[in-house]
Amino acid sequence: MKRIIFFLTVAFFIQINFGFAQLTAKEARQQKKELKMQEVQQLVESNHFIFKADALTTSSGYYKDLDYNYDLILANDSVHVYLPYWGRVYMARINDDAGFKFSESIDKLKFKDRGKKGYQISFTSENKGDSYFFTLDVSKLGYAYLKVNSTRKSFISYDGTIHAHTQE
């Protein structure tokens, strides 16, 4: 009888310890999530970050995972774009790059805090006679959706994440 009581007592205390361990793991995840949300807010408000594209979707619905370092770097008043393009080109130029590859200044920068939905950043830029309108929707956890409209090409969108940009 003493053995049964001893084993039940040990089992009870082990169960309590596992319950507390799960609470602390849950609290740790919540704390990590809150830190990530603060980091994303600081990045977006500073207008100095890098968007890493993971996938693209064309205007016709074609979806493609990207396996290379395609990105858009927003640095205060300029944008550095290196993104692939799939889709319809309305006015092609001789020696035209296949994707979006340029570094230019930006115009009409707008920032909007959308509450629980995250943030929206929109701006325009011009390169070689083509005008681009960028809309970047960023979630509170750093997941992002970039839509690019062009005067010479059909629109395209990219899924990815934003990160802090370090000068190289």
Structure tokens at 137: 């929707």
Residue 41 reports pLDDT greater than 60: yes
Domains and CATH numbers, the chain: 41-164 (2.40.128.410)
pLDDT of residue 103: 78
d(CA 63, CA 149): 17
Residue 65 reports pLDDT greater than 70: yes
CB 124 within 8 A of CB 134: yes
CB 37 within 8 A of CB 141: yes
CB 47 within 8 A of CB 109: yes
What does pTM read for this prediction? 0.77
